[in-house]
Structure 1
Amino acid sequence: MASRIVPCPTCGQRNRVPAAAVGTPRCGRCRAALPWLVDAGDADFADFAEVAEQAPVPVLVDLWATWCGPCRAVSPALERLAAACAGRVKLVKVDVDAAPRLARRFGVQAVPTLLVLDRGEVVARQAGAAPEPALRAWLEGALASRAGGRRSGRV
């Protein structure tokens, strides 16, 4: 599993963020929560459980395709949501063309398809692109209603 270098939104320090961890990523300098973005695919199919299903926070899964214009349009909004929800949400991006087994597993019939997973359970699903305010409202609703509100928090 690869890690990603992420700048801290608070102090600018560059931090290495692992694909999977027991806790949530924090800045090595100022200890602020860091955005958690991960790419996953069929090559890491066995690791998908560790990356997404065993994450300590809810996971926003973006099932997308490189040829899909709406997917490319919604991607920056999802990354901004992941940054706004640093410490509370993990964004896992899955290219359905490179990961057909994961696409089949989640029954993807249109891209983009967005899922919110809580401990591996799908608690919210949305097919198609939407403007950022609608995505934020959808994510807030999913986080508020998931599994009896175990880990509630606003986006």
Structure 2
Amino acid sequence: MESDPVTCPHCGKRNRVPAAAAGKPRCANCHQWLPWIAAAGDGDFADVAETASVTVLVDLWAPWCGPCRMVSPALEQLATERAGQLKLVKVDVDKAPAISQRFKVQAVPTLLLLDHGQILARQAGAAPVAALRDWLNHALSAGSGKEASS
């Protein structure tokens, strides 16, 4: 399973990036880390999100949700800034009811930070990129095994 082609922010080359892989994606041309952005659903969430070699930012969203559409570019920006360190996995809650139930999603967007399937942090609602960056930095500095909430 592959995600949409990714344009390298360093050289502009378009690359195919697998949704699930053992390593981390690099540009075929300049070998810089690529933003890793993939979609997942009930059937492939474990492969795409829980076995990732990097920390995973899960965006639980819905197509009818205005705040979800507003926060999406900010999340993609964070994934680009942290290429090689972070994977963004987008889950459409309408198409993935089991994932929504598993993570007790009551509002969208809901953001989860996962390390090998374990929740490091959780945040409900949209926020500007600076606030999301602060939340992400705080959650990552808090260490694994602790759930941070905002």
State the TM-score, normalizing by the size of structure 1: 0.90
| Paired position in structure 2 for 1:110 | 107
In structure 2, C-alpha distance between the alignment counterparts of 1:54 and 1:116, rounded to whole Å: 14
Q: Displacement, 1:119? A: 0.8
Number of matched pairs: 145
Report if aligned partners of 1:3, 1:16 keep a CA contact under 8 Å in 2.
yes
| Paired position in structure 1 for 2:35 | 35
In structure 2, C-alpha distance between the alignment counterparts of 1:98 and 1:136, rounded to whole Å: 28
Give the secondary structure class of the aligned counterpart of 2:16: strand
| Paired position in structure 2 for 1:153 | none
Report if aligned partners of 1:71, 1:111 keep a CA contact under 8 Å in 2.
yes
| Paired position in structure 1 for 2:2 | 2
Q: Displacement, 1:16? A: 0.6
| Residues 1:109 and 1:58: Cα distance change in structure 2 (over 3 Å) | same
Structure 1 residue ranges (4+ consecutive) displaced by more than 6 angstroms after TM superposition = none
In structure 2, C-alpha distance between the alignment counterparts of 1:146 and 1:41, rounded to whole Å: 27
| Paired position in structure 2 for 1:151 | none
Structure 2: gaps (5+ residues): 146-150
| Paired position in structure 2 for 1:96 | 93
Report if aligned partners of 1:23, 1:56 keep a CA contact under 8 Å in 2.
yes
In structure 1, C-alpha distance between the alignment counterparts of 2:103 and 2:89, rounded to whole Å: 14
Matches within 5 A, 1:3-152: 3-42=3-42, 45=43, 47-147=44-144
- Partner amino acid for 2:108? V
Give the secondary structure class of the aligned counterpart of 1:126: strand
Q: Which is helix-richer, 1 or 2?
A: 1
The CA RMSD measured in Å over matched residues stands at 1.0
Q: Displacement, 1:86? A: 0.5
- Partner amino acid for 2:46? A
- Partner amino acid for 1:9? P
Give the secondary structure class of the aligned counterpart of 1:30: coil
Report if aligned partners of 2:3, 2:37 keep a CA contact under 8 Å in 1.
no
In structure 2, C-alpha distance between the alignment counterparts of 1:52 and 1:84, rounded to whole Å: 19
In structure 1, C-alpha distance between the alignment counterparts of 2:133 and 2:59, rounded to whole Å: 14
Structure 1: gaps (5+ residues): 149-155
Q: Displacement, 1:144? A: 1.5
Give the secondary structure class of the aligned counterpart of 1:4: coil
- Partner amino acid for 1:118? D
